[in-house]
Amino acid sequence: MNICFVAIVLFGLVLTCTSDKKCVTQVNFTYHVWIGDDVDTQYEINLTAPSGSHFIDAMFQAAGLDQNFAFDFIQYDFGKFITTIAGVSNNEATSQFWMIYNLPFVPNTGNPPGDEYLSPVGVDLIEVQDGYHYLFWYRTVDLSTHT
């Protein structure tokens, strides 16, 4: 497929146009929340956002639509660090943390995504992609293998 990426910035929207002149300004994606290593609780919400917007915007959108997605964060110079989602907070004592995964497929609790799908960037920098699944999973993290 011959995709020409047209960098037209219209009120902050990036238009992506294919050769048949179809311009996509909205993307559809799903935000999933899993709580616990065995995923005792899970929430999901389907969202639509302008292409080029960031996952943090989707988090605010989700929180406004459904209080299960309510969250807290600490603002650092590098961006927002998520501390709490759905009333559940990072816990250094038990080494349980919120970890964000960028997935090109539907996550399956029976075969959860591996660390290779962890987002390399923070929520402010993740650009939402059409058809993607963003998973915030509250799980035990072996800090010796994570930096």
Ligand X SMILES: *[C@@H]1O[C@H](CO)[C@@H](O)[C@H](O)[C@H]1NC(C)=O
**CA 14, CA 108: separation in Å to the nearest integer?**
32
Q: Considering beta carbons, is residue 110 or 120 the nearer one to ligand X?
A: 110
The C-alpha R_g of the chain, in whole angstroms, comes to: 16
Per-residue binder mask for ligand X (CB under 6 A), 24-43, x = binder: x-xxx-x-------------
Please state the closest distance from residue 131 (CB atom) to ligand X, in A.
7
Closest listed residue to residue 141, CA positions, set 94, 102, 107, 100? 94
Please state the closest distance from residue 26 (CB atom) to ligand X, in A.
6
By the rule CB under 6 A, 108 interacts with ligand X: no
By the rule CB under 6 A, 44 interacts with ligand X: yes
Please state the closest distance from residue 30 (CB atom) to ligand X, in A.
6
Give the Cβ contact number of residue 71 at 10 Å: 21
Query: In this structure, is the dihedral angle defined by the CA atoms of residues 7, 13, 18 and 22, taken in order, positive or negative?
Result: negative
Please state the closest distance from residue 16 (CB atom) to ligand X, in A.
10
By the rule CB under 6 A, 95 interacts with ligand X: no
Pairing of strands 26-35, 16-18: unpaired
Using CB under 6 A, list all residues that contact ligand X: 24, 26-28, 30, 44-46, 48, 130
